[in-house]
């Protein structure tokens, strides 16, 4: 029997409004509430609600033989609470079946694992607490933002007590090895790794509705046959994808929901496939070897590295500026400032600044509110500069001094930037005055 693990990522960032230089010091309302609400309500109607209802029906029909795994970012949960509470209810109904696993991840869907071990752990702890609060569920497996993984990151995850972690089955890391086996972390062999089979996953996530694809139309029986076929070697088949694949990336009229409705029965009918959550899958199979990954990889783009977020000078300048504020935010210890800090850390902001348009333009343009990487950079830096001003004022009012040099040292640990096609843009000058500290209520305007 081969084990099939279906895993879905659920995340939506809090998008910034158009924020100009002349807003700084005057306007601390950073979010575009109408855009965030409309996107969340649209995706809920097209994807989250119909897909959750379908999965619930399939779980009941299969009588426990069909299982799935989710990770849901803290920023997505916050928006479910505000804009679509019925989505949270539908996830709770799935949790109650006992056939759904929820993973731990970074609360803000951030890149903190690449620069700050302390912030990384803080976010994971916050996300675990959120899963307990919303679903009464304590995660036992971990999935990092965009499947970002390296030997060192895996070691940190193992130190947090996790024994299972997801990673991309990147060819430049696996080499001749197959992603269809369980592997162990190179620095802590207690951590088991489940590798994404990107070809089979992307057949659904990206190629399903492509009529120019040689395998179109893809049926559940054909797909199940590929996995069950003896030429598909291995013990575990890990199908990991964005949840928005269903109804958003692949529209309902493409037949994606009908495909998913027929898939569990088609797979079980082969007599050679079984469904398990990722924790169950990792526990059912012994690691076949150690995976060595010295440099961070991810599931993004053709390169499967972190250049989607930190591949040009714009991204790296914004990234270092952001994490240069870490000590100030922690020293202030204010819920209102923490709220802004959280949505500013979302990896999406750096993704919008990507200049990799030639090979991966369609992917980077999806859900992107900006017309260029430069516009995304300027808007983000304007908000960040105003946030910094307010931080300084709030710290001064409390009489707290922060050694900025120490924070700057940490920020310099970020991965080196690659040159971007666009010119490097300088951060906007700081405004000299501000009316009041950024608050959770104000920021949500």
**Which member of 146, 168, 280, 390 is catalytic?**
146
Catalytic annotation on 146? yes
| Reduced 3-state DSSP string for the chain | CEEEEEEEEECCCCCECCCCHHHCCCCCCCECHHHHHHHHHHHHHHHHHHHHHHHHHHHHHHCCCCCEEEEECHHHHHHHHHHCHHHHHHHHHHHCCCCEEECECCCCCECHHHCCHHHHHHHHHHHHHHHHHHHCCCCCEECCHHHCECHHHHHHHHHCCCCEEEEECCHHHHCCCCCCCEEEECCCCCCEEEEECHHHHHHHHCCCCCCCCCCCCCCHHHHHHHHHCCCCCCCEEEEEEEHHHECCCECHHHCHHHHHHHHHHHHHHCCCEEECCHHHHHHHCCCCCEECCCCCECCCCCCCCCHHHHCCHHHHHHHHHHHCCHHHHHHHCCHHHHHHHHHHCECHHHHCCCCCHHHHHHHHHCCCCCCCHHHHHHHHHHHHHHHHHHHHHHHHHHCCCCCHHHHHHHHCCCCCCCCCCCCCCCCCCCCCCCCCCCCHHHHCC
Catalytic residues: 146
């Amino acid at each position: 029997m081969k084990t099939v693990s279906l895993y879905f990522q659920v995340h939506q960032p809090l998008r910034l409004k158009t924020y100009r230089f002349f807003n700084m010091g005057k306007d601390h309302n950073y979010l575009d509430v109408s855009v965030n609400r409309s996107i969340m309500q649209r995706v809920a109607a097209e994807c989250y609600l119909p897909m959750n209802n379908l999965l619930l029906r399939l779980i009941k029909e299969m009588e426990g033989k069909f299982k799935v795994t989710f990770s849901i970012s803290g920023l997505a949960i916050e928006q479910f609470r505000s804009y679509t509470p019925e989505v949270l209810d539908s996830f709770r109904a799935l949790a109650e079946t006992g056939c759904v696993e929820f993973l731990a991840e970074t609360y803000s869907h951030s890149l903190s694992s690449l620069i700050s071990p302390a912030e990384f752990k803080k976010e994971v702890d916050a996300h675990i607490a959120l899963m307990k609060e919303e679903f009464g569920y304590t995660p036992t497996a971990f999935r990092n933002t965009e499947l970002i993984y390296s030997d060192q990151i895996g070691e940190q995850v193992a130190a947090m007590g996790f024994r299972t972690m997801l990673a991309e089955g990147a060819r430049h890391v696996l080499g001749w090895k197959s992603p269809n086996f369980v592997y162990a972390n190179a620095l802590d062999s207690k951590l088991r790794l489940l590798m994404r089979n990107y070809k089979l996953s992307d057949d659904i996530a990206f190629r399903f509705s492509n009529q120019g694809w040689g395998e179109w139309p893809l049926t559940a029986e054909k797909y199940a046959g590929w996995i069950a076929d003896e030429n598909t070697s291995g013990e575990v088949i890990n199908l990991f994808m964005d949840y928005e694949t269903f109804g958003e990336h692949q529209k309902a009229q493409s037949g994606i929901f009908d495909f998913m409705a027929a898939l569990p029965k088609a797979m079980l009918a082969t007599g050679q496939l079984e469904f398990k959550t990722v924790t169950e899958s990792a526990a059912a199979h012994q690691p076949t070897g150690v995976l060595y990954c010295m440099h961070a990889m991810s599931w993004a783009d053709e390169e499967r590295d972190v250049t989607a977020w930190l591949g040009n000078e714009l991204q790296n300048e914004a990234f270092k500026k952001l994490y240069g504020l870490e000590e100030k935010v922690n020293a202030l210890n204010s819920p209102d400032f923490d709220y802004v800090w959280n949505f500013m850390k979302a990896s999406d902001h750096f993704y919008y600044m990507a200049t990799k348009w030639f090979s991966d333009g369609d992917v980077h343009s999806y859900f992107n509110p900006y017309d260029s990487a430069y516009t995304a950079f300027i808007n983000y830096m304007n908000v960040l500069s105003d946030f910094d001003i307010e931080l300084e004022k709030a710290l001064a009012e409390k009489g707290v001094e922060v050694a900025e040099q120490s924070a700057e040292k940490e920020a310099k640990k970020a991965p080196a930037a690659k040159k971007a096609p666009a010119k490097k843009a300088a951060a906007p000058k700081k405004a000299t005055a501000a009316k009041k500290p950024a608050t959770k209520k104000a920021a949500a305007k």
